[in-house]
Structure 1
Amino acid sequence: MSKVLGVLGGMGPAATLDFLAKLQAATPVQREQDHLRVLVDINPKVPDRNLNDSDPGPVLAAMATGLRDAGAQVLAIACNTAHAYADAVRSSGLPLVDMLETAGLAARAQGATTVGVLGTSLALGLYRDRLFPMGLEVVTLDDHEQVEFMALLYRIKHGDVGTASRETMAALAHRLVGKGAQSVVAGCTEVPLVLSADDLSVPFLDATEALARRCVAVCLGQEETPSGL
């Protein structure tokens, strides 16, 4: 029997829905009952992960505990930056499928040694920590470009996924390619809402999609469940 997946979401809501759609698409089924049972806490009230004076940890821990008590057996966080508080989530006692580790494994499988990451400042640090032991060099935007990325991120969170947002994100991604990135990682769940492989001249790695595929593998017993503790 497949394991029940608990998803900590709402950071932001559109990105969580994108993850759930990719989770469904990644699940091999012959009938409706073959899909995973998924418990989702879409909580946009989680404190902003990008503000120095906020502490999302206790809220995320409570969400994880709530999902566990509702029957979840494996957890996933549909937000890259929130993985800074992964220990708080693991305090629930449940294993966590790490999104950043998953993206790194997928990038390495593609054969890349230098990857460009589009993500928040906090997420970029997390990606460096996860990918360096895998032998991967992380390329990031310059400081002024990162400011531009963050402004774009909040516009996307407000629902602006039109042509201007798509063109700006593509331009930022191309700057990473110009810095030597052999692949570009969508290291923020809002990125794939406005960027796709068709926009790039190098492989595009959607961390949201990679997480969805790994969650399916773990829940179906095709991959070992992370230790979680």
Structure 2
Amino acid sequence: MAEGSSDTSLALGVLGGMGPAATLDFLTKLQSFTPAKTDQDHIRVLVDINPKVPDRNLAGSGAGPVLAEMAGALAGAGADVLAIACNTAHAHADLIQRASGLPLIDMIETASSAARDRGARRVGVLGTKVALRLYREYLAAQAMGLVTLEPRRQDEFMATIYKIKAGDTGPGVRREMADYAADLVAGGADALIAGCTEAPLAMGPKDVRVAFIDPGELLARRCVAVCLGLEPAPAALGA
């Protein structure tokens, strides 16, 4: 609980800015899922929207130490639990938790568990190569397979993601995203995870013929539940 507050809810610290539009989308979902009648019913949210975090997709970019510093600052500002509004940045989850001493509500775990709960056996994921590696591990641990784009299409997908980061969510980009999803379904996916936080900005359930899983939406719902005491907070690393 944030110091100096009589509220029993937990304060949420959000590592964001990767990219800014995706973080704002996450915060909008967080607010909309909170059962509040007054301002005071909402949870306290401390957000670092830091677009200067080095590119998480580039090996050796130095993103980890920057994210760790952000997490430590959020803890110092009064956060009780953390969330990361970026799938790929979860590659540094352990470092983030060690630097802050706070538990993390894990987006990758949350989305993978949702796929399992929907009865999926082979899950298509649209994400960066780093995010795909993380999802492969989490899905395999729950006896599910991963379906990915073939290399050329993966490169094209990343080009589309950078278009979205630049503000293009128009019909052309939406068609491209729907086509990537169709490729995964054709490859045997019986559920699809939009495993890059920019992806849901340009696609949704109507664009996919199988179960559509938005990790940011699920993370927002879970953050509300944890902060309001409706779900236990995750254990802190090493606890």
TM-score (norm 2): 0.94
Equivalences for residues 77-156 of structure 1 within 5 A:
77-91=84-98, 92-156=100-164
Q: 2:203 aligns with which of 186, 192, 195?
A: 195
Deviations 1:132-164 (A, max 9, x none): 111211111100110001111111111111111
Aligned-pair Cα RMSD in Å = 0.8
Equivalences for residues 1-229 of structure 1 within 5 A:
1-91=8-98, 92-229=100-237
Cα displacement (A) at 1:207: 0.5
Identity over aligned pairs, percent: 61
Q: Distance in 2 between matches of 1:40 and 1:16?
A: 9
Moved more, 107-116 or 144-153: 107-116
Cα displacement (A) at 1:32: 2.2
Unaligned runs of 5+ in 2: 1-7
Cα displacement (A) at 1:49: 0.5
Cα displacement (A) at 1:108: 1.2
Moved more, 49-58 or 93-102: 49-58
Q: In the alignment, residue 88 of structure 1 is paired with which amino acid?
A: L
Deviations 1:101-156 (A, max 9, x none): 00011111112121100000010000011111112111111001100011111111
Unaligned runs of 5+ in 1: none
Q: In the alignment, residue 21 of structure 1 is paired with which amino acid?
A: T
| Aligned partner of residue 132 in structure 2, secondary structure | helix
| Aligned partner of residue 169 in structure 1, secondary structure | helix
| Aligned partner of residue 184 in structure 1, secondary structure | strand
Deviations 1:145-202 (A, max 9, x none): 1000111111111111111111000000011011111111010000000000011111
Aligned residues: 229
Q: Distance in 1 between matches of 2:159 and 2:218?
A: 25
TM-score (norm 1): 0.98
Cα displacement (A) at 1:20: 0.3
| Aligned partner of residue 45 in structure 1, secondary structure | coil
Q: In the alignment, residue 91 of structure 2 is paired with which amino acid?
A: A
